[in-house]
Chain A
Amino acid sequence: MNKSLIMIIVAGALINNVVLNQFLGICSFLGVSKQMKASISLGGAVIFVITIASAVASLLYDFILKPLGMEFMKTIIFILVIAALVQIVEMFLKKKSPAVYKSLGIYLPLITTNCAVLGVALTNVQNGYNFIECVLSGFGTAVGYTIAIVLLAGIRSRINEKDIPAPLRGAPIVMIAAALMSIAFMGFGGLSF
């Protein structure tokens, strides 16, 4: 495997972590990380959807939008593709593996409004990635999202037992924890191959 392809995955997952460095998908990051189990399920679903969405978006952009000279339509087209895709994934899982479908629950449809999905698709196009690079960068980004949300869920399960000053309870203390995680992830900036 090519070195630069590995770099795309590592950069997506660690160096430019989608949540802690680019602030995409914050809503679900803060909302769902209350429970470890839900975080892992959501992470799995996000990996699945982002990887497929980046692949489909890349194909659509290269073979339909570009030849027609309609690049400006990309936001509208991509969001519709993502919404349709989430719907299809939902129907497919419901029929083929009800167990997985049940464990994901409400989080599956909510992925449509997760800005990480649209954000990755748009960044890929902006960087001029080819098809394979798009899929890998989507996969790497989604893995980074999963790492971040699972880590935060672990931290929050410890925070809950502590005595925290009243004004900091709830969202503020979680965001301070996220700030410290973000500082830690800045250390990956020195990583290179």
Chain B
Amino acid sequence: MKKCLERLYNGLLKENPVLVLMLGMCPALAVSTRALNGIGMGLSTLAVLVLSNLIISCLRKVIPDQVRLPAYIVIVASLVTVTQMIIEAYLPSLYDALGLYIPLIVVNCIILGRAEAYANKNKPLPSVMDGIGMGLGFTAALTIAGALRELLGNGTIFGAQVMPEAYEPMVIFIQPPGAFLIFALIIAVMNAIGIKTRQRQLVESGCDGNCALCATACESKNPEEQKKGGAEK
């Protein structure tokens, strides 16, 4: 049970697929124009990811190692086709909003990445939890970015007016450049928080905390590497 919770935490925060691992950027940038689209895309990906992790984990001893990637791609592509048909049948407005990006879930690096990195080495239950964690992390990132873009670009969140009437929407944020800007800012904020906590850890571990002035220190996570990088300079 502890392992399952650890998987959830890992997917949501520690290894958030979009904001930390930088996987699946294409759909993240493309569909985050509105918070609702972000949730829709996130949940579709979550469904595919959980099922593909489950199936691949169950078949991990059957699939020969040499042809595992084509096998994974066929499994994922079939699941995506089914998901696409379900969305088309029951949620036509979401289908229109997401358009091309639903079939493109097949080439989302998160899904093949998790299959390769986790599901083909672990038992079905942890693999499913890993899928849920990663999927929720993806959904959270898309929803936050979608809400921010919708708020700045349209003055609404989930379609409800939030900004006062006098607010002039900055349309650029729901256009393509806004996607790059918002994600750049979100990642920068996460980096800033990360750098602060790392500094605190370093102070506690005996370092004088002067690393903020050192250019190489804040980029690499491994303290050993930092020392090497500093020595070379």
Contact = CB atoms under 8 A, between A and B. Distances in A.
B184 A23 contact: no
Most buried by B among A30, A79, A167, A180: A167
Contacts of B12: none
Interface residues of B, number: 45
Tell me the dominant secondary structure on chain B's binding face: helix
Contacts, number: 120
B181 interface: yes
A25 B104 contact: no
A126 to B, nearest CB: 7
A76 B22 CA distance: 25
B191 A166 contact: yes
Interface string A108-131: 000001110011001100100000
A42 B227 CA distance: 34
B97 interface: no
Contacts of A179: 177-181, 184
A85 interface: no
A172 B185 contact: yes
A183 B177 contact: yes
B184 A175 contact: yes
Interface string A72-110: 111110011001000000000000000000000000000
Interface residues of A, number: 41
B29 A173 contact: no
Contacts of B108: 115
Interface in A153-188: 166-173, 175-176, 178-180, 182-183, 186
A5 interface: no
Interface of A: 20-27, 30, 72-76, 79-80, 83, 113-115, 118-119, 122-123, 126, 166-173, 175-176, 178-180, 182-183, 186
